[in-house]
Amino acid sequence: MDKLLLIDDEADVRYSFERIFGRKDGLELHTAGSGEAALELIPQLKPDLVIMDVRMGGITGIETLQRLREFDSKTPVILMTAFGTTQTAIQAMKHGAYDYILKPFDVPKLEEMVGKALDAARSMKQVVSYEPLLEKEDFDLGIIGQSAPMQEVFKTIGQLAASDATALITGESGTGKELVARAIYSHSQRSSQSYLAINCAAIPENLLESELFGHEKGAFTGANTQRIGKFEQCDGGTIFLDEIGDMTLATQTKILRVLQNGIFERVGGNQPVKVDVRVIAATNKPLEKAVEEGDFREDLFYRLNVVRIQLPALRERREDIPQLVSYFLSKNSPNPKQPKTVQPDALAKLETHDWPGNVRELENAVQRALVMAKGDAILLENLPPEVLNVADAASPDVDGDDLAGLASKLFRWARNNPDLKVIPAVERELVINALKETDGNQVQSAKLLGITRATLRKRIEKFDIKQGLTVE
Q: Say if CB 187 and CB 240 are below 8 A apart.
A: no
- The Cα–Cα gap between 306 and 302 comes to 7
* Phi–psi pair at 47, nearest 5 degrees: -70, 155
For the chain, what is the radius of gyration of the CA atoms?
A: 30
Question: Which of 141-155, 386-400, 447-461 comes out lowest in average pLDDT?
Answer: 386-400
pLDDT band at 304 (very low <50, low <70, confident <90, very high): very high
> What's the pLDDT tens digit per position in 152-173?
888 888 888 778 999 999 999 9
CATH 1.10.8.60 domain locations along the chain? 314-389
CA gap 48, 121 in Å, rounded: 6
| Preceding peptide of 104 cis, ω within 30° | yes
Average pLDDT, stretch 410-427?
Answer: 66
Cβ atoms 1, 30 nearer than 8 A: no
- What local confidence, expressed as pLDDT, does residue 297 receive? 95
End-to-end CA distance of the chain: 65
pLDDT at residue 330, rounded to an integer: 85
Mean pLDDT value across residues 307-327: 93
Write down the mean pLDDT value for the chain. Answer: 84
Neighbours of 240 (CB within 10 A): 25
Task: Please tell me the class of the 163-310 domain.
Answer: alpha beta
CA distance 138 to 358: 19
The conformational region for residue 230 under phi > 0 = left, psi -120 to 50 = alpha, else beta, is alpha
In angstroms, how far is CA 101 from the centroid of its own chain? Answer: 32
Task: Say if residue 84's pLDDT is above 70.
Answer: no
d(CA 185, CA 150): 18
Q: How far apart are CA 305 and CA 302, in angstroms?
A: 5
CB within 8 Å of 446: residues ≥ 6 apart: 452, 453, 455, 456
Q: How confident is the model at residue 46 (pLDDT cuts 50, 70, 90)?
A: very high
CA distance 94 to 99: 11
**Spatial contact of 51 and 100, defined as CB atoms under 8 Å apart:** no
The phi, psi pair for 197, rounded to 5°, reads -110, 130
Candidate from 31-45, 74-88, 208-222, 388-402 with smallest mean pLDDT = 388-402
Strand partners, 265: 272
Location of each CATH 1.10.10.60 domain in the chain: 398-462
**pTM, two decimal places:** 0.63
Question: Comparing C-alpha atoms, which of 31, 60, 130 is closest to residue 329?
Answer: 130
Annotate 250-272 with DSSP letters as a single string.
HHHHHHHHHHHHSEEE-BT--SE
The architecture (CATH level 2) of 2-124 comes to 3-Layer(aba) Sandwich (3.40)
**Does residue 246 contact residue 201 with C-beta atoms inside 8 Å?**
yes
Cβ-contact 327, 370 below 8 angstroms: no
66 φ/ψ angles, rounded to the nearest 5 degrees: -60, -45
Residue intervals in the chain for CATH 3.40.50.2300: 2-124
Mean pLDDT value of segment 8-30: 91
> Above 60 in pLDDT, residue 122?
yes
Distance between CA 310 and CA 312 in Å, rounded? 6
Evaluate whether 231 touches 239 at the Cβ level (below 8 Å).
yes
3-class state of residue 324 by DSSP: helix
d(CA 445, CA 439): 9
**In this structure, are residues 300 and 252 in contact, taking their beta carbons and an 8 Å threshold?**
yes
Q: What is the pLDDT of residue 119?
A: 84
How confident is the model at residue 243, as a pLDDT?
Answer: 92
- CATH class of domain segment(s) 398-462: mainly alpha
C-beta of residue 73 within 8 angstroms of C-beta of residue 82? no
Q: What are phi and psi of 469, to 5 degrees?
A: -120, 145
For the chain, what percent of residues have pLDDT higher than 70?
85
The 3-class secondary structure across 4-70, one letter per residue, is EEEECCCHHHHHHHHHHHCCCCCEEEEEECCHHHHHHHHHHHCCCEEEEECCCCCCCHHHHHHHHHH
Please give the class, per CATH, of domain 314-389.
Answer: mainly alpha
Q: What is the pLDDT of residue 412?
A: 61
